[in-house]
């Protein structure tokens, strides 16, 4: 995506009338299935929290960092307005549902690998137009698909179940970002003060209510990395000026200083955390399947049970393994009999298919999956069925390269025309005019079919008609020519057997 054309794209739409959510699959596919990113491991950075707390504002500084990280001062000039995700001051919400930035950033990590970075903006929670379910759904979708998120009890219960399924912690990195911190004399701004504050808040004490103890325990058991960052207030010009457009000169120095430390903590190449589900790193292609599975379980009137969420994860987990195995099969088969490859003998093609199919099924089995043996077997059966369908298509494509196969239809029609011409002449000569007329009719139909077939192949129009002619010619070829050859070979074999007997 061209940087100038990049924009926020709504991928989860909130319906304010019936409080349901709808996934814009086509928009998400255009973003995640771009050729240069679809097979890269993905880092999903999502900011969620209460409404009117500056989530979009923060994400726009992240965008600025991603575009200028190679420069000395990534924050830009003092008079540059802030662009990207739409935001504004005031008390009414701006973002609804879930939006992603259409430009996926490709970053080289210190270990030499490339990752795709996706920035996600979410609807603010607890505003006057949203129900508790609305807020929880947005939190859940973004937490289950991203790397940095605010926590909710439902997610930690899902995490506990996922932890039983796979020994690794289900979520990667959680950062609590506290803006407008007013007590720097107790805990200093930044990561150090934030982590000290967080450690105290997450302490489990005997005199706490059981629910509070459980939340603290679940958070620590579900996330591999938990941090907290304290940000000062951005200043009165930011909070009270309705014309504020994000220029640095209007923001307090303390806020700019801490912001310059915060964003690299999240987005510097050595800090990027790749999304993992079930112990497997997730690619952009995989993420699409997870979104499709997760959105289904949030369509009801009630929040889903954590077990339902776990089942959806297992389903998406298996579907991504199927997609990966199919992609491997298609890539290897394309190298053998793709559009630019010459014709290959059917027996050799079948042998290659069986070898590659076995490799693809082995790959599927080797991927860590959730759901148990019987659950995964269903998806293995689905994979094997889809691979056979793909082989059928490759086989047809290969047959089309055979010059004799391509000439089969016109050759068959020509033989029909020649045969009926001879029959017409002979029957007309001996006075069987009715048979001669019938032969002439068949010859005319064959000639018309041949002309039509030639036009279809030349113009590409009326392809259904061309397919019908091919099928009829194929049937004639099999019934007459192939069966005749088979019968003659059988007769020759019988004669040789009789000669040996005598």
**pLDDT digits 0-9 by tens, 296-334:** 766 655 555 555 656 766 777 788 888 889 989 998 999
Residue 185 has φ and ψ, to the nearest 5°, of -75, -20
Write down which residue in 275, 304, 333 finishes a domain. 304
**pLDDT digits 0-9 by tens, 45-96:** 887 654 444 667 788 888 889 888 777 788 888 888 877 776 544 334 444 5
Q: How does residue 271 score in pLDDT terms, banded at 50, 70 and 90?
A: confident
Question: Does 278 map to a domain?
Answer: yes
Half-sphere exposure of 45 (CA within 13 A, CB side): 26
| Cβ-based neighbours of 272, under 8 Å, separated by 6 or more | 43, 107, 109, 115, 117
Helix (H) or strand (E) holding 463: helix 463-476
Helix (H) or strand (E) holding 230: strand 223-230
Give the residue ranges of DSSP H helices in 98-209: 132-145, 153-165, 190-201
- The answer on 170 and 49 residing in a single domain is yes
- The answer on 299 and 349 residing in a single domain is no
pLDDT computed for residue 31 by the predictor? 92
- The answer on 256 and 132 residing in a single domain is yes
Give the residue ranges of DSSP H helices in 33-89: 55-68
Q: Tokens at residue 429, please?
A: 């000569």
Place of tokens 């965008």: 63
- The answer on 220 and 270 residing in a single domain is yes
Gap between the Cα atoms of 326 and 389, Å rounded = 11
- The answer on 160 and 56 residing in a single domain is yes
What is the DSSP annotation of 320-382? Answer: HHHHHHHHHHHHHHHHHHSTTSPP--HHHHHHHHHHHHHHHHHHHHHS--SS-HHHHHHHHHH
Q: Tokens at residue 264, please?
A: 């690299």
Using DSSP, state whether 272 is helix, strand or coil: coil
Q: How does residue 129 score in pLDDT terms, banded at 50, 70 and 90?
A: very low
Q: How does residue 170 score in pLDDT terms, banded at 50, 70 and 90?
A: low
Question: Does 311 map to a domain?
Answer: no
Q: How many domains does the chain have?
A: 3
pLDDT computed for residue 249 by the predictor? 84
Counting residues of the chain whose pLDDT is more than 90, the rounded percentage is 12
At residue 12, does pLDDT exceed 90? no
pLDDT computed for residue 156 by the predictor? 43
The larger pLDDT score, comparing residue 444 to residue 172, is at 444
- The answer on 399 and 280 residing in a single domain is no
Task: Centre a 10 Å sphere on the Cβ of residue 270 and count the other Cβ atoms it contains.
Answer: 8
User: How far apart, in Å, are the Cα atoms of 266 and each of 2, 211, 226, 367, 459?
Assistant: 24, 31, 12, 29, 56
At residue 463, does pLDDT exceed 90? no
- The answer on 203 and 348 residing in a single domain is no
- The answer on 357 and 276 residing in a single domain is no
CB 169 within 8 A of CB 223: yes
- The answer on 227 and 196 residing in a single domain is yes
**pLDDT digits 0-9 by tens, 334-351:** 988 887 778 888 888 899
Gap between the Cα atoms of 453 and 446, Å rounded = 10
Gyration radius of the chain's alpha carbons: 33
pLDDT computed for residue 155 by the predictor? 40
CATH number at residue 64: 3.40.50.300
Gap between the Cα atoms of 373 and 163, Å rounded = 18
pLDDT computed for residue 356 by the predictor? 94
Which residues form the domain of 377?
A: 321-403
Highest mean pLDDT, choosing among 38-47, 216-225, 242-251, 479-488: 38-47
The larger pLDDT score, comparing residue 320 to residue 222, is at 320
Q: Tokens at residue 424, please?
A: 């017409």
**pLDDT digits 0-9 by tens, 348-379:** 889 999 999 999 999 998 887 767 788 889 89
Q: What is the mean pLDDT of residues 183-211?
A: 82
pLDDT computed for residue 279 by the predictor? 73
Gap between the Cα atoms of 284 and 295, Å rounded = 17
Question: Does 398 map to a domain?
Answer: yes
Q: Is the pTM of this model over 0.75?
A: no
Question: Does 287 map to a domain?
Answer: yes
User: How far apart, in Å, are the Cα atoms of 320 and each of 26, 285, 316, 472?
Assistant: 18, 8, 6, 41
At residue 198, does pLDDT exceed 70? yes
Residue 187 sits at the vertex; the CA angle it makes with 185 and 193, to the nearest 5 degrees, is 140
Task: Centre a 10 Å sphere on the Cβ of residue 36 and count the other Cβ atoms it contains.
Answer: 11
pLDDT computed for residue 299 by the predictor? 64
Question: Does 313 map to a domain?
Answer: no
CB 427 within 8 A of CB 463: no
- The answer on 448 and 378 residing in a single domain is no
Question: Does 312 map to a domain?
Answer: no
Question: Does 478 map to a domain?
Answer: yes
- The answer on 172 and 55 residing in a single domain is yes
- The answer on 173 and 52 residing in a single domain is yes
Q: How does residue 158 score in pLDDT terms, banded at 50, 70 and 90?
A: very low
If 0-12 CB within 10 Å is exposed, 13-18 middle and 19+ buried, where does residue 178 land?
Answer: middle
CB 43 within 8 A of CB 118: yes
CATH number at residue 340: 1.20.58.420
User: How far apart, in Å, are the Cα atoms of 63 and each of 76, 252, 263?
Assistant: 12, 20, 10
Q: What is the mean pLDDT of residues 209-214?
A: 66
Gap between the Cα atoms of 40 and 269, Å rounded = 15
Write down which residue in 304, 329, 355 finishes a domain. 304
Write down which residue in 250, 275, 304 finishes a domain. 304
pLDDT computed for residue 352 by the predictor? 92
At residue 132, does pLDDT exceed 50? no
Least confident of 89-103, 150-164, 294-308: 150-164
Q: What is the mean pLDDT of the chain?
A: 76
Question: Does 457 map to a domain?
Answer: yes
């Amino acid at each position: 995506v061209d940087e100038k054309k990049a924009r926020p794209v709504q991928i989860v739409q909130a319906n304010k009338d019936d409080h349901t959510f709808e996934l814009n699959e086509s928009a998400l596919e255009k973003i995640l299935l771009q050729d240069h990113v679809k097979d890269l491991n993905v880092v999903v950075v999502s900011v969620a929290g209460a409404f009117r707390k500056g989530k979009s504002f923060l994400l726009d500084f992240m965008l600025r960092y991603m575009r200028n990280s190679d420069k000395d001062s990534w924050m830009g000039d003092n008079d540059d307005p802030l662009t990207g995700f739409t935001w504004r001051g005031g008390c009414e919400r701006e973002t609804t549902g879930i939006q992603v930035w259409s430009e996926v950033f490709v970053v080289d990590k210190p270990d030499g690998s490339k990752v795709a970075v996706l920035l996600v903006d979410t609807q603010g929670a607890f505003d006057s137009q949203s129900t508790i379910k609305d807020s929880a759904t947005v939190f859940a979708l973004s937490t289950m698909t991203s790397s940095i998120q605010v926590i909710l009890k439902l997610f930690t219960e899902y995490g506990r179940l996922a932890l039983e399924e796979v020994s690794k912690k289900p979520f990667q990195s959680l950062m609590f970002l506290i803006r407008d911190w007013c007590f720097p004399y107790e805990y200093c701004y930044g990561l150090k003060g934030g982590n000290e504050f967080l450690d105290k808040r997450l302490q489990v004490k005997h005199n706490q209510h059981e629910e509070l103890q459980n939340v603290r325990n679940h958070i620590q058991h579900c996330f591999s990395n938990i941090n907290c960052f304290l940000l000062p207030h951005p200043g009165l010009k930011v909070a009270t000026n309705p014309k504020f457009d994000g220029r640095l000169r209007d923001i307090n120095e303390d806020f700019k200083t801490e912001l310059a430390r915060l964003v690299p903590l999240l987005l510097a190449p050595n800090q990027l955390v790749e999304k993992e589900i079930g112990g497997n790193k997730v690619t952009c292609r995989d993420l699409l399947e997870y979104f499709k599975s997760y959105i289904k379980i949030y369509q009801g009137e009630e929040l889903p049970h954590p077990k339902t969420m776990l089942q959806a994860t297992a389903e998406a987990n298996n579907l991504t393994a199927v997609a990966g195995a199919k992609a491997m099969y298609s890539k290897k088969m394309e190298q053998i009999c793709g559009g630019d490859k010459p014709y290959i003998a059917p027996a050799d093609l079948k042998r290659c298919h069986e070898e590659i199919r076995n490799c693809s099924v082995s790959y599927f089995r080797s991927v860590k999956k959730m759901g148990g043996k019987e659950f995964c077997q269903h998806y293995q059966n689905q994979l094997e069925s889809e691979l056979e369908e793909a082989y059928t298509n490759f086989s047809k494509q290969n047959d089309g390269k055979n010059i004799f196969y391509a000439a089969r239809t016109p050759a068959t029609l020509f033989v029909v025309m020649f045969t009926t011409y001879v029959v017409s002449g002979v029957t007309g000569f001996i006075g069987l005019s009715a048979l001669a007329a019938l032969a002439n009719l068949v010859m005319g139909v064959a000639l018309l079919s041949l002309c039509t077939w030639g036009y279809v192949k030349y113009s590409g129009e009326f392809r259904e008609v061309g397919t019908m002619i091919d099928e009829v010619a194929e049937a004639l070829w099999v019934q007459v020519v192939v069966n005749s050859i088979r019968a003659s070979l059988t007769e020759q074999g019988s004669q040789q057997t009789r000669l040996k007997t005598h």
